[in-house]
């Protein structure tokens, strides 16, 4: 098919790409928000044991991501598309393991519960990788224009945000019950774990439908013509590994992502606990979610113009610095357990989320730029493998984040199990823990983007000039 027959980049691509992360998000957000609560509060897994499960699962992903990334690069499941058949196949499998993960196995012996959680999470990780790696790789082949990539990244963020908002607004009313604490006499909210199985099934069906929509709307129009050096198997892995770790921009973006994911995005369970034990009203979680996403909405509108004028790096670093400062200040702001205190809490989250929001909107455009730099440097078409390595570190970060949360909960005296009674001051402690974790994530991400990531406005212009030249040819 000639170039003139390929429709130009436009709204179909943007909406289709957003639908893809919406599909991934319905699975990922459900798991990241409720899996830890489900196994600690309902199934009765000990916090220390859960931390081990997460770390083992993420170590497993080291193999899983690399293998699937290489398969995506070297094995086509269909004739017309490199990535779409992988997304469909992975999406179908993901439905099964989403449901398996939230099976109400309360009657199982403790060892069987432990094994079930570990195996189910590993299988879920395989299925999610089969979807997310080819989906993420699409970014670099939909368009090679840096500003169009910013637009794609913005729409992807919209797609990712919608499931998070739905989950935080709708699910608390479904999955929590109020019961009286026998020690304090105060009504507390307890997780109804059995409700998460039908919820997981319903969201899995919605997720698959949106992933299917991506395959129908998005066009792969960037054809990589490698220099013939592409390899398969172990050689391909080491080649991609070398490309990844000799790419300074990729290292900086990855460190920032690890910090952002581990100490920000993977801690939503703590936010739920703040409303469960401090404010004692999980029905208001959605309000906090909407409030914390306000900076993202603002920058979705402004980001294209800002990055075009100042460059992606300058905008991100500036916003990250604001977020880091807000995080430190939030540690010293007095917050009461009433509606006024809740509003103060939301304002603090908004300040903290300024840097994280801008980074999350931009990150996929940044990664695509990093992959483009690698391709121009090496001549090798390694999108799947490079994205898989990046994805591995993000997944590892998820494990680190959940492990940090588990260790933090142990340190502040969390009691595991269904209908467990927490200490009277637990709510205040979990609120402080949440702010400490968020502030640390904001600071580390800022330092990585400011001092390691090296694709500034000048380098972006060079990428754009190269793209324009390629289009002219």
How far apart are alpha carbons 181 and 370 in whole angstroms? 52
CA distances in angstroms from 420 to 41, 47, 179, 181, 359, listed in the order given = 8, 13, 11, 9, 38
**DSSP code for 423:** P
Question: Do the beta carbons of residue 322 and residue 355 sit within 8 Å?
Answer: yes
How far apart are alpha carbons 243 and 382 in whole angstroms? 9
SS3 50: helix
DSSP string, 436-449: HHHHHHHHHHHHHH
Question: Do the beta carbons of residue 267 and residue 400 sit within 8 Å?
Answer: no
Element (H, E) at 179: strand 176-180
What is the per-residue pLDDT for 4? 46
SS3 content of the chain, % helix, strand, coil (to 5): 80, 0, 20
Burial of 411 (0-12, 13-18, 19+ CB in 10 A): exposed
Domain boundaries, given as residue ranges, for the chain:
12-222+231-472
To 10 degrees, the CA torsion angle through 168, 170, 171, 175? Answer: 130
Of 253, 305, 246, 312, whose CA–CA distance to 463 is shortest? 312
What is the per-residue pLDDT for 187? 67
Q: Locate 13 and state its tokens.
A: 């691509």
What is the per-residue pLDDT for 234? 60
What is the per-residue pLDDT for 472? 47
Name the phi and psi angles at 187, rounded to 5: -70, 130
Name the phi and psi angles at 251, rounded to 5: -65, -45
221: Cβ–Cβ under 8 A, 6 or more apart, which residues? 6, 9, 141, 142, 143
What is the per-residue pLDDT for 446? 94
The total of other beta-carbon atoms located within 10 Å of residue 97's CB is 22
Burial of 309 (0-12, 13-18, 19+ CB in 10 A): exposed
Q: Locate 24 and state its tokens.
A: 């991934």
Instruction: Report the length, in residues, of the chain.
Output: 473
* pLDDT beneath 70, residues of the chain: 1-5, 62, 78-79, 180-188, 223-237, 265-266, 381-382, 384, 418-419, 465-473
Question: Do the beta carbons of residue 41 and residue 175 sit within 8 Å?
Answer: no
pLDDT tens figures, 270-324: 888 898 889 888 778 777 777 777 777 777 778 778 888 898 899 999 999 998 8
How far apart are alpha carbons 429 and 272 in whole angstroms? 14
The yes/no answer on whether domain 12-222+231-472 falls in CATH 3.40.190.10 is: no
Name the phi and psi angles at 11, rounded to 5: -65, -35
Of 347, 372, 355, 367, whose CA–CA distance to 447 is shortest? 355
pLDDT tens figures, 399-422: 788 788 888 888 998 887 766 778
**DSSP code for 418:** T
What is the per-residue pLDDT for 1? 40
Q: Provide the CA 141 distance to its chain's centre, in angstroms.
A: 21
CA distances in angstroms from 54 to 47, 49, 88, listed in the order given = 11, 9, 27
DSSP string, 205-267: HHHHHHHHHHHHH----------S----HHHHHHHHHHHHHT-HHHHHHHHHHHHHHHHTGGG
Q: Locate 401 and state its tokens.
A: 């984040």
**DSSP code for 331:** T
SS3 189: strand
Of 210, 282, 272, whose CA–CA distance to 25 is shortest? 210
**DSSP code for 188:** E
What is the per-residue pLDDT for 198? 94
């Amino acid at each position: 098919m000639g170039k003139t027959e390929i429709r130009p980049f436009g709204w179909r691509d943007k909406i289709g790409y957003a639908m893809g992360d919406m599909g991934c998000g319905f699975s990922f957000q459900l798991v990241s928000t409720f899996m830890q609560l489900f196994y600690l509060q309902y199934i009765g897994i000990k916090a220390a044991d859960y931390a081990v499960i997460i770390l083992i699962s993420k170590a497993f992903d080291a193999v899983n991501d690399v293998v699937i990334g290489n398969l995506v690069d070297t094995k086509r499941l269909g004739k017309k598309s490199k990535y779409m058949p992988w997304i469909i196949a992975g999406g179908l499998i993901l439905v099964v393991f989403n449901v398996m993960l939230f099976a109400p196995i309360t009657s199982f012996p403790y060892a069987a519960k432990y094994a079930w959680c570990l195996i189910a999470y590993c299988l879920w990780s395989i299925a999610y990788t089969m979807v997310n790696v080819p989906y993420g790789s699409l970014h670099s082949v939909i368009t090679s224009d840096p500003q169009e990539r910013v637009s794609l990244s913005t729409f992807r963020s919209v797609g990712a945000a919608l499931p998070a908002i739905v989950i935080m607004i709708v699910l608390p009313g479904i999955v929590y019950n109020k019961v009286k604490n026998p020690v304090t006499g105060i009504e507390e909210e307890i997780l109804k774990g059995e409700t998460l199985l039908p919820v997981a099934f319903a969201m899995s069906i919605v997720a698959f439908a949106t992933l299917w929509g991506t395959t129908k709307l998005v066009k792969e129009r960037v054809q990589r013509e490698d220099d013939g050096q592409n390899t398969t198997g172990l050689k391909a892995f080491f080649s991609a590994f070398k490309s990844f770790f000799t790419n300074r921009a990729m290292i900086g973006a990855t460190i920032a992502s690890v910090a952002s994911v581990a100490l920000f995005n993977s801690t939503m369970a703590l936010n739920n606990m703040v409303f469960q034990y401090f404010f004692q009203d999980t029905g208001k979680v959605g309000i906090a979610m909407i409030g914390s996403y306000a900076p993202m909405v603002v920058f979705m509108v402004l980001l294209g113009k800002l990055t075009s004028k100042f460059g992606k790096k300058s905008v991100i670093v500036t916003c990250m610095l604001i977020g880091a400062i807000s995080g430190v200040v939030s540690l010293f702001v007095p917050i009461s357990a009433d509606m006024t205190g809740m509003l103060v809490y939301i304002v603090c989250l908004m300040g903290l989320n300024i840097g994280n929001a801008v980074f999350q909107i931009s990150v996929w455009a940044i990664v695509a730029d990093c992959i483009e730099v690698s391709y121009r440097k090496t001549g090798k078409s390694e999108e799947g493998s490079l994205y898989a390595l990046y994805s591995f570190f993000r997944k590892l970060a998820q494990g680190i984040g959940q492990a940090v949360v588990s260790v933090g909960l142990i340190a502040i005296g969390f009691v595991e199990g269904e209908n467990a009674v927490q200490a009277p001051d637990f709510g205040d402690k979990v609120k402080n823990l949440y702010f400490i974790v968020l502030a640390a994530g904001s600071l580390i991400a800022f330092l990585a983007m400011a001092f390691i990531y090296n694709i500034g406005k000048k380098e972006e212009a060079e990428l754009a000039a190269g793209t324009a030249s390629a289009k002219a040819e």
